[in-house]
Amino acid sequence: NAGVTQTPKFQVLKTGQSMTLQCAQDMNHEYMSWYRQDPGMGLRLIHYSVGAGITDQGEVPNGYNVSRSTTEDFPLRLLSAAPSQTSVYFCASSYSKFREAFFGQGTRLTVV
Amino acid sequence: AQSVTQLDSHVSVSEGTPVLLRCNYSSSYSPSLFWYVQHPNKGLQLLLKYTSAATLVKGINGFEAEFKKSETSFHLTKPSAHMSDAAEYFCVVSLISGGGADGLTFGKGTHLIIQP
């Protein structure tokens, strides 16, 4: 009964470092997405994927990279971390971009 | 384009009293609408959803919401608040039919405080 699994739960990076946030789902959903949550801003879409091999940009894609080699996995890469990327990151999956999304538990990232 | 406005950033009620969290939306097409709840340091959990069936939608934990097209509203209510309801609540709008780049659009959230 795993649903959407994100790792790690917490991470501290130094400015300029790179890292990958992992996301896996076991519901066979075609659509997966990454959001960032900042105080008073709600959730903002970073990147999304409508299936293996297909990705596209969301509202705030700069500084992030994604790939989708399998239906289950959708990692998010920070290429060169900046303090402005300090946030809580959520991965979600759903049957389509218009249907309800199922969320992971989040990754709290701090860039110093 | 679609948008969603949660009219209150914070709502405080006493335990046992009714809860009302207000949400207005804007959409060029027939929308799907959702309410999510986020407890501290947790992910988002779906409370309920409206997808063009009954306008009064019942969700988990005693919450319900009514879709009012004439008022473009989807307010969330609960008859009697419980301490465990203290959380952040998000109203979300989505297009039912395709034709736009928008998927889910989130409101900025309402922080619900329950006073003992």
Q: So what's the pLDDT on residue B86?
A: 97
Q: What pLDDT band is residue B99 in, cutting at 50, 70 and 90?
A: very low
B-chain residues within 8 Å CB-CB of A102? 46
Residues 21-60 of A with CB under 8 A from B: 31, 33, 35, 40-45, 48
Q: Which of A61-65, B2-6, B73-77, B106-110 has the lowest mean pLDDT?
A: B2-6
> Smallest Cα–Cα separation from B50: which of B23, B79, B19?
B23
Q: What is the mean pLDDT of chain B?
A: 89
Spell out which residues of chain A touch residue B90, defining contact as CB-CB under 8 Å.
42-43
Name the closest residue on chain A to residue B93, using Cα atoms. A98
Q: In chain A, what is the straight-line distance between the N-terminal and C-terminal CA atoms, in Å?
A: 36
When CB atoms are compared, the residue of B36, B49, B103 closest to A97 is: B103
pLDDT band at B95 (very low <50, low <70, confident <90, very high): low
Q: pLDDT (tens digit, 9 = 90+) per residue, A13-63?
A: 999 999 999 999 999 999 999 999 998 888 999 999 999 999 999 989 999
Query: Tell me, what's the pLDDT at B110?
Result: 96
B40 touches chain A (CB under 8 A): no
Q: What phi, psi does B30 have (nearest 5°)? A: -65, 120
DSSP class of residue A3 equals: -
Judged by CB atoms closer than 8 Å, whether chains meet at A43 and B46 is answered as no
Taking CA–CA distances from A49, the nearest residue in chain B reads: B103
Residue B17: band (very low, low, confident or very high) from pLDDT cuts 50, 70, 90: very high
